[in-house]
Amino acid sequence: MIDQKASRDVGEATHLGPELSRRNLLTGAAAFTAALGLPIPFAGDLPAGFIPVALAQDVGTLAVAKPGLTLLGDRPVNMETPPHLLDDALTPNNRFFVRNNGQPPIGVDTSDDAWTLRIDGEVERALELTITELKSRFATVELDLVVECGGNGRAFHQPAASGNQWTFGAVGCARWTGVRLRDVLQAAGLRDTAVHTGHYGADTHLSGDPDRDAISRGVPIEKALEEHSIIAWAMNGEPMPELNGHPLRLIIPGWPGSCSQKWLNRIWVRDQVHDGEKMLGTAYRMPAYPVAPGTRVPNEDMITINSMPIKSLITFPETGARVNAGEPMMIRGSAWSGDVAVESMEISIDFGASWQAVEMPAARNRYAWRRWQAQLTIPERGYYEVWARATDQNGTSQPATTPGWNPKGYLNNMQHRVAVFVL
Ligand SMILES: Nc1nc2c(c(=O)[nH]1)N[C@H]1C(S)=C(S)[C@@H](COP(=O)(O)O)O[C@H]1N2
Ligand SMILES: [Mo]
């Protein structure tokens, strides 16, 4: 199931070979269990120094917990979902991509009474809430929300941009259960000076230095108060996978996934734009003006990404599909966007020369992706491509190829194409 090239890259990237690199990552039965996604009934009998063979073999570590995902790296763990595995209205937990900047917390008590979230800074009264208190003090909401990494599509930037070489699959849509962030902020009482949030999680910096954060981003207070910004403890009706932030995370939909802090344990309400890890420099920032590919852009000309662009995927069929001429075939996919909602969806089978609108029912709530489908019959034998393009309510559509090169390769919302062999 695991992409062989991805597995090889893991070894190369760490210069240790798969076994050693995995040993760095995984220590103790709890970590093995998290990686495997299953309990190990005989864990106590596993000799010291042994790692489960399922993790030692040349399959991606942790990909055991998420079969079929492409492992981009294992320290930190990053894995994306091939588009054809995103063919559900709600992305199953074991198919939801993983983007880690540091090492997930291990050996920490994540029970509802033990885990705490602190709200402090520009508030009338700082709060320290357990998950039990979050659940009892605030109204529970259940929302279908997309999380997409700002670097999704980076792999297609030329010259190459450094960072994980995401293709199309650093995105998913799940049903999240939690409370509105605004309810919690209002319980703490926002002062007039509150302008921005700063998010903190329990994962650790790759260097092991406890004084450094793996990532600490934030959003303007208006976005934090938006009714779809939530603090979630469950994903598709189940506890979140460890890798996706168990036991508590933010979901700030429509904005880069990096705003949606995992393993959330503190929100610092700030009187200035948050300056935490990966808020400044080139991180999640774009040049303020279009630049020629490869240009060095001074830091003062970089602006932080907020709303994500209009985008869509073809999730069925898988690229390379074979069909018989004259036989009807289904085409399906998803469309989503940031703060400007999705308006319409079209597909093309003539390399973009002409487009036909497809059926796309409304989603359950704003910031969910919208599933679309069409039936196609291609009469003549040959090589075809299905191209898909979504348009938002401002009339902005997806470009045919990678738009606006930028130093870190963000915001690539080019059209998705799949190959279809008509026989
Ligand atoms: N604590 C913490 N939160 C985090 C991250 C992280 O490394 N640590 N990565 C962020 C980034 S860059 C993205 S794109 C999303 C990915 O969420 P997922 O791994 O559940 O798909 O989590 C965000 N939240
Ligand atoms: Mo990200």
Within a domain: 144: yes
Q: Establish whether residue 263 lines the binding site of ligand 1, counting it when its CB lies within 6 angstroms of any ligand atom.
A: yes
Q: What is the mean pLDDT of residues 14-38?
A: 51
Taking CA atoms only, the protein residue closest to ligand 1 atom 5 is 100
Nearest atom in ligand 1 to the alpha carbon of residue 245 is 20
Answer yes or no: do 131 and 248 share one domain.
Answer: yes
Residue 387 — pLDDT band, cuts 50, 70, 90? very high
- 181 close to 229: Cβ distance less than 8 angstroms: yes
Instruction: Using DSSP, state whether 123 is helix, strand or coil.
Output: strand
What is the span of the domain harbouring residue 8? 4-60+308-422
- 83 close to 93: Cβ distance less than 8 angstroms: no
Answer yes or no: do 313 and 380 share one domain.
Answer: yes
Within a domain: 79: no
Q: Strand 264-270 to strand 196-201: parallel, antiparallel, or no bridges (unpaired)?
A: antiparallel
At residue 18, the pLDDT reads 35
Q: Establish whether residue 244 lines the binding site of ligand 1, counting it when its CB lies within 6 angstroms of any ligand atom.
A: yes
Taking CA atoms only, the protein residue closest to ligand 1 atom 15 is 257
Residues above pLDDT 70, as percent of the chain: 89
Q: Establish whether residue 149 lines the binding site of ligand 1, counting it when its CB lies within 6 angstroms of any ligand atom.
A: yes
CATH of residue 106: 3.90.420.10
Number of domains comprising the chain? 2
Phi and psi (nearest 5°) for 259? -75, -20
Q: What is the mean pLDDT of residues 69-94?
A: 92
At residue 297, the pLDDT reads 94
Whether residue 266 is predicted with pLDDT greater than 50 in this model: the reply is yes
Q: Is the peptide bond before 159 cis (omega within 30 degrees of 0)?
A: yes
Whether residue 22 is predicted with pLDDT greater than 50 in this model: the reply is no
Cross-sheet strand order for the sheet of 382-392: 321-323, 416-422, 382-392, 342-348, 356-357
Find the 274 Cα to ligand 1 centroid distance in Å. Answer: 17
At residue 388, the pLDDT reads 98
Residue 42 — pLDDT band, cuts 50, 70, 90? confident
The predicted model scores a pTM of: 0.88
Find the 127 Cα to ligand 2 centroid distance in Å. Answer: 28
Answer yes or no: do 111 and 237 share one domain.
Answer: yes
Tell me how long the chain is: 423
pLDDT tens sequence across 46-67: 887 776 766 654 444 445 678 8
Answer yes or no: do 257 and 338 share one domain.
Answer: no
At residue 20, the pLDDT reads 34
Q: Establish whether residue 202 lines the binding site of ligand 1, counting it when its CB lies within 6 angstroms of any ligand atom.
A: no
Helices (H) and strands (E) in the chain, counts: 7, 22
- 229 close to 185: Cβ distance less than 8 angstroms: no
At residue 63, the pLDDT reads 53
Mean pLDDT of the chain: 90
- Return the exposure string of 71-95: e unless at least 16 CB atoms fall within 10 Å of the residue's CB, then b: bbbbbbbbbbbbbbbbbbebbbbbb
Rounded to a whole number of angstroms, the distance between the first and last alpha carbons of the chain is 27
List the beta bridge partners of residue 376.
Answer: 329
Q: Is the peptide bond before 76 cis (omega within 30 degrees of 0)?
A: yes
Nearest atom in ligand 1 to the alpha carbon of residue 256 is 14
Neighbours of 128 (CB within 10 A): 12
Find the 84 Cα to ligand 2 centroid distance in Å. Answer: 21
At residue 73, the pLDDT reads 81
